[in-house]
C-alpha cells in the first residue's frame, strides 16, 4: 500500500483544526489531527514543506519505520511542532492500517481491555451557584467524573471558565492574544472554598478534578494539595509549570492529593523522571501532541511499570480525529485512568463525521474500520482559518506569569 498523496487542510468549524490527509494507491484515505492551538500554521508549514514530500511513494503499512524516519531522521528531535506533525502522520497511518484490515484501531492494539472509557467533563461558573448548576447538569447527564473551575472573585476573567453558552474558553481575539490578570493569593483562597462547596453540595459519589493551569510555585502547589486532601480529589492538574519535573518532588513530599500533568509534553523524555520516580499519578500526554498512537503507547507502557495511569488531554482544540485516536488507545491499554472530554463546538460535525459515542459518562470509539472519523474537505472549505490565540496571563503588577 503506497502513499500517493499527503496534504494538509486548515479549517475553522467552530475553532481552528489542522488535518493531514494521506491517500494510497489502494484507494484508502487516512486522516490525522495536526492542530497546535495558537501555533497552527507552524505545523502546517512543517508538514507541507518537510514531511508530505517525504511520504509520497512510501509503504503506508510501515508505521514504526516511518515514525523513526521522521523522528530520528530529522536530527532535530522533539518539540511541540515536530511531535504534532509526526503524530498526525502516525494517526493517519493507523487509520489506514485499520481500514486495510477492516478493523477498528483498538482491535489492532490488542482489543478492548474495558467496556468503555470513563471520561471527565467540564463544569464551570461565574460564581459558585452557577458552578453548582453546571455540576448538577453534568451529573444528570450521567458523568461520573467532573472537572470544576469557577471565576476567581476580584479578577476580570478566569481561564477555564467560558462565557455563558459558549463551548470554548479561549476568547476569539483575532490577531492578538487577550491579556488576563492573575492573583495567586486570591486563587488559593478561592480554590479551597470552591472545592469544599462542591463536596458539601453534591457529596462524594463522583470523581472531582481541578485544573491549576501551571500557575503555582512548588510550595504553593503543596499548600493547595494539602488544603484539598479532605475532599478526595481524583486529581489536581498542572499545579506548576510542567517543564520543571523536579518541582513535583516538593509537591509530593507534602501532599497525598493525586497529581496529573502532561498536556504540554510532547515526548517520553518529558515524562521520564515524573514516572520513574513516581512523582505523579496520572500522565496527560495527548495522542496528537506527543507523536501519535505509536509514541503515546510507549509513554503509557512506561507509566504502567510505575503504577501511573493515563488521563489524556481531550480539550476542544484537539480535533475529533484526535479524540477518536485517543479512545482507541484508552480502550486497549491496561493502565487507563480517565479521558478528558470537552466535546466539539458546532459546526465541527459538518466537517468531521464520527463513529465514537459518549453515553453515561463513558466513551466508546465505535467499530468502524480505522479511527472511525471521516473528514469532509468540501465542508471544511466553507470554514476558513481564522488566527486565534490563547490568552496571555499577567500578575496584578503587569509581570507575565506562568500558565
Ligand atoms: C486545558 C486545555 O483541557 C485542559 O485541561 O488545560 O484547555 C488547554 O488549556 C488547551 O487545550 C490549550 O490549547
Ligand atoms: Mg489542562
Kindly report, residue by residue over 165-198, the tens digit of the pLDDT: 566 666 666 788 989 999 999 999 999 999 999 9
Q: What are the boundaries of each domain within the chain?
A: 3-103, 108-368
CA 260 to ligand 2 center in whole angstroms: 9
Say yes or no to pLDDT of 132 above 60.
yes
Q: Structurally, what CATH architecture does the domain formed by 108-368 represent?
A: Alpha-Beta Barrel (3.20)
Residues 159, 282, 341, 356: which is the catalytic one?
Answer: 159
Query: What's the whole-number mean pLDDT along residues 236-243?
Result: 98
Nearest CA to ligand 1 atom 10: 315
Nearest ligand 1 atom to alpha carbon 318: 11
User: What would the mean pLDDT of 38-61 be, rounded to a whole number?
Assistant: 98
Res 9: pLDDT: 98
Who's near 230: CB < 8 A, 6+ residues apart?
Answer: 196
- Residue 117: pLDDT band by 50, 70, 90 thresholds? very high
- Class of the domain covering 3-103: alpha beta
Mean pLDDT of 41-46: 98
Q: How far apart are CA 97 and CA 1, in angstroms?
A: 10
CA-to-CA distance for 373 and 387, rounded, in angstroms?
Answer: 25
Model pTM score: 0.97
Distance CA 51, CA 178 (A): 33
211 lines ligand 1 (CB under 6 A): yes
Regarding the beta carbon of 37 and ligand 1, being less than 6 Å apart is answered: yes
Q: How far is the CA of 111 from the centre of ligand 1 (A)?
A: 29
Q: Is 385 a catalytic residue?
A: no
By the 8 A CB rule, do 390 and 399 touch?
no
Cβ contact 371:98 at 8 Å: yes
Q: Give the number of whichever ligand sits closest to the CA of residue 315.
A: 1
- Mean of pLDDT values over 341-364: 97
pLDDT band at 214 (very low <50, low <70, confident <90, very high): very high
- What is the predicted pLDDT for the residue at 262? 98
What is the CA 48 to chain-centroid distance, rounded? 24
Instruction: Find residue 352's DSSP bridge partners.
Output: 375
Burial 323-335 (b: 16+ CB within 10 A, else e): bbbbbbbbbbbeb
Ion ligand 2 residues within 5 Å by Cβ: 211
**Ligand 1: residue whose CA is nearest its atom 1:** 315
Q: With the C-alpha atoms ordered 194, 197, 199, 203, is the resulting torsion angle positive or negative?
A: negative
Work out which ligand 1 atom sits closest to the CA atom of 169. Answer: 7
Ligand 2 center–CA 102 separation, angstroms? 35
For ligand 2, the distance from its centroid to the CA atom of residue 338, given in whole angstroms, is 13
Can you read off the three cell numbers belonging to residue 164? 455563558
CA–centroid distance, residue 398 to ligand 2 (Å)? 24
Instruction: Check pocket membership of 33 for ligand 1, CB cut-off 6 A.
Output: no
Mean pLDDT of 296-318: 98
Cis peptide bond N-terminal to 146, omega within 30:
no
Give the distance (Å) from ligand 1 centre to CA of residue 24. 34
Residue nearest to atom 2 of ligand 1 (CA): 315
Confidence of residue 162 (pLDDT cuts 50, 70, 90): confident
Q: Give 239's contacts (C-beta < 8 A, 6+ positions apart).
A: 212, 214, 216, 221, 224, 225, 251, 259, 261
Q: Is the per-residue pLDDT at 107 higher than 70? A: yes
β-bridge partners, 2: 59
Measured distance CA(15)–CA(344) in Å, rounded: 9
Residue nearest to atom 11 of ligand 1 (CA): 315
Confirm or reject: Cβ of 317 under 6 Å from ligand 1: yes
Of 241, 313, 342, 392, the one to substitute when testing ligand 1's pocket (max ligand atoms within 8 A of C-beta) is 313
Determine whether 159 is an active site residue: yes
Amino acid at each position: 500500500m503506497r502513499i500517493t498523496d499527503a496534504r494538509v487542510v486548515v479549517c475553522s468549524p467552530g475553532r481552528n483544526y489542522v488535518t493531514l490527509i494521506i491517500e494510497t494507491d489502494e484507494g484508502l484515505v487516512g486522516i490525522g489531527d495536526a492542530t497546535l492551538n495558537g501555533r497552527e500554521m507552524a505545523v502546517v508549514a512543517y508538514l507541507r514543506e518537510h514531511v508530505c514530500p517525504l511520504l509520497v511513494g512510501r509503504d503506508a503499512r510501515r508505521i514504526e519505520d516511518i515514525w523513526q524516519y521522521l523522528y530520528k531522521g530529522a536530527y532535530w528531535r522533539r518539540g511541540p511542532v515536530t511531535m504534532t506533525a509526526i503524530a498526525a502522520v502516525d494517526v493517519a497511518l493507523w487509520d489506514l492500517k485499520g481500514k486495510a484490515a477492516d478493523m477498528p484501531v483498538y482491535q489492532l492494539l490488542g482489543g478492548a481491555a474495558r467496556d468503555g472509557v470513563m471520561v471527565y467533563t467540564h463544569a464551570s461558573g461565574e460564581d459558585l451557584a452557577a458552578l453548582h448548576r453546571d455540576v448538577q447538569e453534568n451529573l444528570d447527564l450521567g458523568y461520573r467524573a467532573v472537572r470544576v473551575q469557577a471565576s476567581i472573585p476580584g479578577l476580570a476573567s478566569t481561564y477555564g471558565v467560558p462565557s455563558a453558552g459558549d463551548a470554548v474558553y479561549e476568547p476569539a481575539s483575532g490577531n492578538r492574544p487577550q491579556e488576563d490578570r492573575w492573583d495567586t493569593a486570591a486563587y488559593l483562597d478561592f480554590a479551597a472554598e470552591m472545592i469544599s462547596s462542591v463536596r458539601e453540595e453534591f457529596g462524594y459519589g463522583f470523581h472531582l478534578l481541578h485544573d491549576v493551569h501551571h500557575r503555582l510555585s512548588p510550595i504553593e502547589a503543596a499548600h493547595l494539595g494539602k488544603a484539598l486532601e479532605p475532599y478526595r480529589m481524583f486529581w489536581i492538574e498542572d499545579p506548576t509549570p510542567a517543564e520543571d519535573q523536579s518541582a513535583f518532588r516538593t509537591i509530593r513530599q507534602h501532599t497525598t492529593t493525586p497529581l496529573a500533568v502532561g498536556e504540554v509534553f510532547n515526548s517520553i523524555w518529558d515524562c521520564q523522571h515524573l514516572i520513574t520516580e513516581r512523582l505523579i499519578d496520572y500522565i496527560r500526554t495527548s495522542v496528537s501532541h506527543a507523536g501519535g498512537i505509536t509514541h503515546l503507547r510507549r509513554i503509557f507502557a512506561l507509566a504502567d511499570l510505575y503504577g501511573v495511569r493515563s488521563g489524556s488531554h481531550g480539550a476542544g482544540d484537539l480535533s475529533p480525529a484526535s479524540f477518536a485516536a485517543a479512545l482507541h488507545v484508552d480502550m486497549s491499554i491496561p493502565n487507563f485512568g480517565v479521558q478528558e472530554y470537552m466535546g466539539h463546538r458546532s459546526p465541527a460535525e459538518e466537517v468531521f463525521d464520527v463513529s465514537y459515542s459518549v453515553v453515561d459518562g463513558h466513551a466508546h470509539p465505535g467499530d468502524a474500520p480505522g479511527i472511525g472519523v471521516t473528514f469532509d474537505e468540501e465542508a471544511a472549505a466553507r470554514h476558513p482559518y481564522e488566527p486565534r490565540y490563547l490568552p496571555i496571563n499577567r500578575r496584578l503588577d503587569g509581570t507575565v506569569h506562568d500558565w
